[in-house]
Amino acid sequence: MTQWLLDRTFRTASGDEVRWAVLGDIGDRGEERAAAPAVVLLHGTPFSSYVWRGVARALAARCRVFVWDMPGYGASEKRDGQDVSLGAQARVFGELLAHWGLSRPAVVAHDFGGCVALRAHLLHGARYERLALVDPVALGPWGSPTYRLLGAHPEVFGQLPPALHRALVREYVASAAHQGLHPAVLERLVEPWCTGEGQPAFYRQIAQNDQRFTDEVAGRYGEIELPVLVCWGAQDDWIPLAKGRELVSRIPGARLRVIEGAGHLVQEDAPAELTAALAVFLGAGA
């Protein structure tokens, strides 16, 4: 359940080390699958590519699936003075697409990964074959009172005793799932934030992100011309379903898939339903 290894590294233009992996590039018989369709998965906050493990492995049967931990998250580098804003992440995503040699991949993005993918496309010219957005951060207002409080005082919360910090992060992460998280999964998601580098990084990423990053692109969603699927957990307590309906109304031709019984972490609450919807949209079904 917890096995997940990003075995490759990329050094960004700003000097950050990003960990990434590709699944499905080698077939069952050891043959290279360079011609297989490429799919890139983007995670959100305060998560990592680990939330995509089941979906990635399923899609890898027919696709090359690229996964990565954004700078400041998961297994990627965390350091003082690091720019981990949504603006910076969109630029890094463009760098990675070039590094991977992907000109028009399919993209699947969750939470603020949605903002990253949308900014890369609308502001930086990244081209996708199609785009699936899963409970994305895309329209204001967003950010709970707790989120804003943590972001306003990163230097204070960064000095919490480790046990209190871990308890705070555990409760915060757990609240994203409607069905509840398996203890091993919860620990895997929490652990990167509970090291000496991880504790200040947790509050740093909140402090650097605000609504202006979505406001800068929200008025341009009508320019999107590629196929778009929006998946939304019906019981999402972090970003209400109404935001999903509004987003679909702003993107020409976009379709909405509501997943019952799922909260914000649809990947954990309803992995089979989400994987099936994505596989059909990506043309990766049986």
Quote the CA–CA distance of 165 and 32 in Å, as a whole number.
Answer: 45
pLDDT at 1 (0 to 100): 54
180: left (phi over 0), alpha (psi -120 to 50) or beta: left
- Hey, what are 231's tokens? 């998946």
Reply yes or no on whether the pLDDT at 32 is more than 90.
no
Gap between the Cα atoms of 204 and 117, Å rounded: 21
Tell me how far apart the alpha carbons of residues 161 and 61 are, in angstroms, rounded to a whole number: 44
Average pLDDT over residues 44-65: 97
Tell me the pLDDT tens digit for each residue of 62-105: 999 999 999 999 999 999 999 999 999 999 999 999 999 999 99
Neighbouring C-beta atoms of residue 169, cutoff 10 Å: 22
Instruction: Please give the single-letter amino acid code of residue 172.
Output: Y
| 247-260 pLDDT tens trace | 999 999 999 999 99
Query: pTM for this one?
Result: 0.96
CB within 8 Å of 140: residues ≥ 6 apart: 211, 214, 215, 218
pLDDT single digits (tens) 99-158: 999 999 999 999 999 999 999 999 999 999 999 999 999 999 998 888 889 999 999 999
